[in-house]
Structure 1
């Protein structure tokens, strides 16, 4: 690994992570199974089993705090290979680093405050932050299991049933802004139901496991490019970003008799049986369209 590659990956991941996390993209699915059953004209059951990754509680979001000690970095302008710094270069870099200490501290405090605001007041730098999030989710209806697996990854079981009297979004977490939905259900006039799953696609096939989390912007592309390069050199899957679970799951919509599917973007289309019709999306880093369907009561 060259020093240039390390710097590029670290800077790209940090900038992408914080810039887009602070605009709302701070949660992403990992390995999961999810199902929405439209059990009648005015009733539904929704479930989600699997991983949810919270950027603010991961090592990725804390990389700048973990690298506060000074290290001189020099590389060849022709080959970009790392090389030893001269005493003069090291002294100059140290002087610049020390001059920016106050600014870095101020920015770190600002980022921590912004992330805490996104996470219902939970301070992500607090060692007990993951436990606080477990408590927060566990007291909400529907969250039947919440286990922190480490590095911001939670294993959850969510299940809820209700009436189709209002719109529905998952996840909805107390104190969190509703800006990072995995699944949305919108009620339309005339008995129609619009279902979107913006969290169940990669948004950009070139960004691998970071697609849903970081989107398709230039920062994300830079981070993914560097990570893919280093993963390939190490003989690992270039789509797997260290610390971020790979998007891998199944989303199913079941429609009871008396309801009909007006539109959908599955590959195979609806499958009919005695219990109604079923739509299935298989989700991976190569998924380039968010699952969507339009359901209505049969005339």
Structure 2
């Protein structure tokens, strides 16, 4: 059994109990200061996908008659194929109201076709890790972006939903990788802290300060990543 297939099997019980949120058209920013203060924003679309359909399409393609991986890429997940009945629309609007209760959401609107428009902004102190999005009421899983705080005074930023690794990495097996066709936007990272590393081939964008802009498309492979060192 391939590594990608094993990852999907291990994730299956959790996926079947949860909803899957993935980016649509968006503009997102993250600013981290040397004193550990930060501001994160996401303005744009959130698309709701069917995890069961993702698992089915991923496990049903790319295998030979013996069940082994034949090297072909799994089919991508599609939005939930349920009709837009009055009951379904009411359910989605209720989900939008649930999401809007979370701190940081300035607005949440259901657009139809399992697509929401959100305006999110949060500021705080990085005395611990930060991830987005997480919502226990919606049972949403697989954060799009995470800031990992390390003991050596650095922080690693990784925007998993804005890119894909190659077939040897976990993200190729993840449902967000299969659902990448809906995403289109930019992720801008700024900081006045020491920039230890980043993986944007275009380098720094015109400032002020240190600024990196990743253009995100359905075919983006690079997972936006950066490491900064705090002043203390």
- Give the TM-score normalised by structure 2: 0.70
Name 1:290's counterpart in structure 2. Answer: 223
CA RMSD of aligned residues (A): 3.2
Name 2:90's counterpart in structure 1. Answer: 128
Name 2:184's counterpart in structure 1. Answer: 248
Unmatched runs of 5 consecutive residues or more in structure 2: 1-11, 52-77, 168-172
Name 1:265's counterpart in structure 2. Answer: 199
Q: By percentage of residues, which structure has more strand? A: 2
Runs of 4 or more off by more than 4 Å in structure 1?
18-21, 202-205, 211-214
| Residues 173-188 of structure 1 aligned to structure 2 (within 5 Å) | 173-177=135-139, 179-188=141-150
Query: Residue by residue, what CA displacement relative to the aligned partner does 1:185-210 show, whole Å, maximum 9, x if unpaired?
Result: 110012200111111125579xxxxx
Query: Residue by residue, what CA displacement relative to the aligned partner does 1:63-100 show, whole Å, maximum 9, x if unpaired?
Result: 5xx7xxxxxxxxxxxxxxxxxxxxxxxxxxxxxxxxxx
8 A contact 2:104–2:122 mirrored in 1: yes
Name 1:201's counterpart in structure 2. Answer: 163
Which of 26, 43, 46 is matched with 1:49 structurally? 43
Provide the rounded CA distance (Å) in 1 between the counterparts of 2:15 and 2:26.
21
| Residues 117-156 of structure 1 aligned to structure 2 (within 5 Å) | 126-156=88-118
Provide the rounded CA distance (Å) in 1 between the counterparts of 2:104 and 2:89.
26
8 A contact 1:202–1:285 mirrored in 2: no
Structure 1 residue 26 and structure 2 residue 20: aligned?
A: yes
Provide the rounded CA distance (Å) in 2 between the counterparts of 1:25 and 1:198.
17
Which of 174, 177, 196 is matched with 1:215 structurally? 177
Unmatched runs of 5 consecutive residues or more in structure 1: 1-17, 67-124, 206-210, 221-243
Aligned pairs, how many?
188
Distance 1:29 1:262, change over 3 A: same
Provide the rounded CA distance (Å) in 2 between the counterparts of 1:60 and 1:128.
18
Q: By percentage of residues, which structure has more helix? A: 1
Displacement after TM superposition at 1:286 (Å):
1.6
8 A contact 2:32–2:38 mirrored in 1: yes
Provide the rounded CA distance (Å) in 2 between the counterparts of 1:129 and 1:25.
13
Provide the rounded CA distance (Å) in 2 between the counterparts of 1:251 and 1:292.
11
Provide the rounded CA distance (Å) in 2 between the counterparts of 1:285 and 1:197.
14
8 A contact 2:36–2:230 mirrored in 1: no
Distance 1:25 1:135, change over 3 A: closer
- Give the TM-score normalised by structure 1: 0.55
Provide the rounded CA distance (Å) in 1 between the counterparts of 2:186 and 2:196.
21
Larger Cα-atom Rg? 1
